[in-house]
Amino acid sequence: MAVRLTAERLVSAAQDDSADAGITIRAELEPLGGDGTPVKPAAYGGGQFQHGRRWVGSGEDRHPVDILVIDNEPSQANRLEAALQDKRDVLGLPDIVLDLSSAGTLPPHLPREISMFQFPHRNADAYLRDSMVDGTPFATSEVGEAIFEATAASADALLAWCPQAPLFGFWQSHLGKKRSQAKKARSWASEIIGLEPAADDVRRLGTKGDPINLNAEEQVLVNEDDMSVWEFGEKPEKGEKRDKLAKVGHGQVPFPEDRQALSGVSFRQILQQATVSFASLRTVRTSSGAPEARAVLAALGLVAHVAAFARAFTLRSGADLRPKTVSWRWLGARGDEDLEVPDFEAMAAIFSECVAQAEVAGVPVGSQWKEHRLTVSPSPSLLQAIKKSWPAT
């Protein structure tokens, strides 16, 4: 019989002398079109899928099978952070936001602000380092110094301002060789894989159409910075180059062989596995010495997972999935146990209780988080870099 997860159980597992190992979440997923419908895995440089082989089955039936990684660990962590950003106000989480309004007019597809939940390197990100607060470089401010000097063994500032960092991992590698190189391996690992792909290198064929069927080979002068500026002519002006009419989107153009994108793949089965490691979290320490801090981190990952994956979700074009079966398992010191699968409201309540207990124990969370909403602006050098990359038109 499945048992209910509680804040008290997470706090107990977070103790220094605990032998509990963690929690594993397993889900079988299916495409919205049904089993066997092609799903698009993540593609990497050079147009490649991430291949692998995994053991499946048990006992004498245990055997290796080919797999493709549909969503890997770093990508899954980013999706959990996006879910936390979406639920930031509901969960009362802290945040630091880089306001880009001083950069002037930016293309519509670029963000107008970047949250701590979006910084590629979390608390160790160059955008955070290259920011200003109240006219002072953020890195030399009281908050900035605390964040950049934090380590897993001295994690107060991370719990206070960026609790996702010690959970999903960080490496302070952008301060310089003689500055902090602190790092913390991820305590949360998650991935989605497709087992036994029917094919592993299918390319999408096609032709870009044109209702008027203009001559795609016609030579024109093109401004690559602004495709709305092109003309017929003989002599290129400054910023122009000679190219085919197809360059500005006219004419019928078949997909060239070297630009045929990877297509979706049909799998026998699609699985997601996520694990939070109590062993890893026990390396996180705060000045209070309270294990409740670690329980907060474990609950943070669990509530993020429920928010991101408890219902149908989208990874990218051609990768819309929904859970068919989900199981949570407690990896305990005295044996493993099935856990009841909580919904978001139940998991949010457990998270809130962990936060409340941690705050009483002296961990800088809870009511302090309400004050930890900070807006910073780009430094002069970062602002110049932005404007050089995206000059105003």
For tokens 């809870």, the residue is 366
Do 111 and 171 fall into the same domain? yes
Do 181 and 211 fall into the same domain? no
Return the number of other C-beta atoms located less than 10 Å from residue 248's C-beta.
Answer: 16
State pTM to two decimals. Answer: 0.92
Let me know: does 84 contact 164? Beta carbons within 8 Å.
yes
Residue 351 lies in a domain: no
Collapsed DSSP state (helix, strand, coil) of residue 23: strand
Do 57 and 132 fall into the same domain? yes
Residue 223 lies in a domain: yes
Q: Each residue of 296-341: pLDDT tens digit?
A: 999 999 999 999 999 999 999 999 999 999 999 999 999 999 999 9
Burial class (CB in 10 A: 0-12, 13-18, 19+), 363: buried
Do 191 and 75 fall into the same domain? yes
- Closest to 179 (Cα-Cα) out of 153, 145, 154: 145
- Closest to 39 (Cα-Cα) out of 355, 375, 315: 315
CA distance 294 to 284: 7
Cα–Cα distances (Å) from 229 to 1, 154, 223, 237, 303, in that order, read 68, 56, 6, 11, 49
Residue 348 lies in a domain: no
Do 159 and 44 fall into the same domain? yes
CA distance 50 to 42: 8
Q: Each residue of 264-276: pLDDT tens digit?
A: 899 999 999 999 9
Return the number of other C-beta atoms located less than 10 Å from residue 28's C-beta.
Answer: 14
Longest Cα pair distance anywhere in the chain, in angstroms?
81
Q: Give the up-direction half-sphere exposure of residue 328: CA atoms within 13 A in the CB hemisphere.
A: 19
pLDDT at 201: 72
Collapsed DSSP state (helix, strand, coil) of residue 167: helix
Number of domains making up the chain: 2
Do 34 and 169 fall into the same domain? yes
Residue 54 lies in a domain: yes
Task: Determine the structural domain holding residue 222 and report its residue range.
Answer: 207-254
pLDDT at 257: 65
CA distance 146 to 140: 9
CA distance 330 to 292: 18
DSSP tag of 255: P
Do 276 and 314 fall into the same domain? yes
Do 224 and 139 fall into the same domain? no
CA distance 149 to 136: 18
Residue 123 lies in a domain: yes
pLDDT at 86: 98
The CA-to-CA distance between both ends of the chain, in Å, stands at 65
Alpha helix ranges (H) inside the chain: 7-13, 73-86, 88-91, 126-129, 142-149, 156-161, 164-168, 278-281, 292-309, 344-360, 367-371, 380-389
Do 63 and 149 fall into the same domain? yes
**For residue 52, what are its two tokens?**
């692998």
| One-letter amino acid of 321 | L
Do 179 and 321 fall into the same domain? yes
Residue 366 lies in a domain: yes
CA distance 59 to 73: 28
Residue 228 lies in a domain: yes
CA distance 114 to 103: 13
Collapsed DSSP state (helix, strand, coil) of residue 299: helix
CA distance 358 to 366: 8
- Positions of the chain with pLDDT lower than 50, given as ranges: none
Residue 184 lies in a domain: yes
Do 170 and 250 fall into the same domain? no
Do 327 and 224 fall into the same domain? no
